[in-house]
Structure formats: C-alpha cells, structure tokens
Amino acid sequence: MRVLMILFLILILQSCNPKVEKAHNVYTSVEIEDIYVDTTLSIRAIELLNDKSLAFAANNGVFGLYKPKSESWMTSTQKYDSLTPHFRAVAHTSTDFFMLSTESPGLLYKTGDDGQMTLVYKEEGPSVFYDAMKFWNDKEGIAIGDPTDDCLSIIITRDGGQNWSKLSCDKLPQIKEGEAAFAASNTNISVSGDYTWIGTGGKTSRIWYSTNKGKSWEVFETPMINGEATTGIYSLDFYDNKNGFAVGGDYTKPENNRNNKIVTNDGGKTWKVVADGENPGYRSCVQYVPNKDANQLVVVGFNGIDHSFDKGETWKHLSDESFYTIRFVNDSLAYAAGKGRISKLKFK
C-alpha cells in the first residue's frame, strides 16, 4: 500500500510540474518534403485558403494553387503588357485570392469572375515598393509598402478588394528618416480582429498600430536592432490582441543574434528583448504554433528552422534547411517556401 501511495504522489507531482508538461510539447525534429520545385523562383508569399488549399505568388509573374487532397498543382503566369511582375504579397477572403507586386508599377490582382486574375489597383512612381497584405474580414483589407512621401504607403479596401484607396500622409504618423518595411515573407503586418500591427526597419524599427482597421494609427518604439538599411523587424505575428512576437536582425550579418527577437504582452505598446545573444540569429518569418496559448513559436530563415516552447525565451534549432516564409495548417503540419521550392513540414 505504501509503495502504491508513493507512486500515486509521484504521478500527481509530475502532472503538476510545468517542466514535465512543457517537455512533451517540445519539437525534436522536423520532416521536410518538397511538394513544388522551380529553381527559377524566389517564393516569399504563401497563404492557406479556407479549404486548406495553399496559394502562392512569386517572381517571374508565377502564381499557383496546391490542392492537398489530390496533391495536385495549378500554376500560371501573370503579365502586365510587356512587364513580368515580381510578387511578394498575397492575401485572401472566403471567395477571392489577391496578389500584389513590389516595385513600380505596383500591381494588385484579384480573382476575376472569368477565372483569370483582374487588375484592381495600380500605382506608379520611383519609390513604389509594396511589402505585405492582409484582410480583416471578407470586405476589408490592407496592404503596406515603403514610403513614397513622409509616411508609409498604406492602401485599404472596404468592398471586398474591388477598389483600393491610398491613405494620405495627413492621416498617418510621420515616417522617420531611413525607416521603411521589408518584403521578406509577407509577415511584417499582422491582424487580429479589428487590430493591426506593422513592423518597420532600417535606421529605426517601430510598430505602427491601429485598433480600428486602419482608420487611425499610433506608433510605438521597439528595442529591435536598427540603424542600418538592412536592420530591423522583418516579421511579426500576433496570437491575439495582446500577445505578439517579432523577429529580424540584419540579413547581411545573419549570425548576429543580439536584439533580434522581441515579445509583447500588451498589444504591442511595449516590447522586451528575449534570448539576447543566443541563437537564432537573423530570421525572416515568425509564426505562433496554433492552439498553444501563445507559448510556442517557429521561426524560419535562410539559415534554418527553430522552435521555442516558452514564448521565445529559449530556442531549439531543428534544421539547417533554408526557407523564407511559413504557415501552419495545425500544430504539427505547416507549409514553407523559399528559394526554388515549397515544402510540407511535419513537426515531431
């Protein structure tokens, strides 16, 4: 009887021990399977549609759709007159897919009624460069880009993406000298409900914040590394209206792991550096693992894949495989894209 009681107490203590509980949640490996290969492409924009299909758009005007049930691909090429757009931003509603090119002319396409992509917005100018795009709901969406005047370029739709309007700088905070955004993974913008966060970089690295789907804005300082054109926030993700995480660094010095991982628990108003001086170094995309109460994160970059189970305080390097961006299907399956490929990632 005494032995049984001791065993029973051990089981109770283990079940209450957070370290034991966390240990069961730590990924120890990732299995990578390439599902699309085209060595001519740089793929930085992928999006999971409502039916769990995977859409992407890349350079050379190439875009496509993967149907996981049939494991089939449909790909096409978008041209604009004699130009070949370079896409780094995609988004979707429940009925339509959108893709946005980077430099001038900035071209935003929407799924057309005839099955072809229809141009719904065009912007020309020497400073035009669009970076990322998201939708709050089926009617309202936002895309952001580098400044063309003294504010970030922000365009918004309120009619399901049929029409887009650029916000004037008198409705936005003023940009600081050398401040811009990065088109590294279509993730330097994050939305949750009506809330929006934009991460900038360059000579300063800040958070642009809206609580009302882009109608008004505030700006918050961050401790993210900054000061050079290649430094700052490259990616951010919010689990809910309070918990967020941002990564970046300097892609020209990818081993530098100082001040390149920051966390917030007050909706982006204040940020704290975590794992300072510890790997990972530069990463281009961060995503929360679904259904893990904002505790678990995965980051990817051209130097590999890393996982944290404790809000970014510590990290485990899972792979040296190179990717630019990642999206989770569930807490153990994701898709990632990079130079010349899209892959299925199974975390174990």
Q: Write out pLDDT tens, residues 75-130.
A: 999 999 999 999 999 999 999 999 999 999 999 999 987 778 999 999 999 999 99
pLDDT digits (tens, 9 = 90+) for 39-58: 999 999 999 999 899 999 99
| 18 belongs to a structural domain | no
Residue 13: inside a domain: no
**8 lies in a domain?**
no
Distances from the Cα of 56 to the Cαs of 44, 48, 74, 338, in angstroms?
A: 8, 9, 11, 11
Whole-number Å distance between alpha carbons of 281 and 289: 20
**What average pLDDT does this structure show over 287-295?**
97
170-186 average pLDDT score:
96
162: in domain = yes
pLDDT above 50: residue 308: yes
Strands (E), 222-347: 231-238, 244-250, 261-264, 272-273, 285-288, 297-301, 304-308, 316-319, 325-328, 333-347
| Residue 9 falls inside a structural domain | no
Q: What is the pLDDT of residues 318-328, one digit of tens each?
A: 999 999 999 99
pLDDT value of residue 15: 42
Residue 211 counted as domain residue: yes
More confident residue, 227 or 24: 227
Cα distances from 330 to residues 211, 307, 322, in angstroms, run 27, 15, 21
In a domain, 333, yes or no: yes
Q: Which residues contact 114 (CB under 8 A, 6 or more apart)?
A: none
In terms of Cα–Cα distance, which of 312, 304, 246, 251 is closest to 278?
312
Number of structural domains (the chain) is: 1
Q: Which residues constitute the domain of residue 84? A: 30-347
What is the Cα–Cα distance from 304 to 318, expressed in whole angstroms? 8
CATH number, domain of 234, equals 2.130.10.10
Find the radius of gyration of the CA atoms of the chain: 21
Does residue 172 sit within a domain?
A: yes
The pTM of this model reads 0.92
pLDDT band of 26, cuts 50, 70, 90: confident
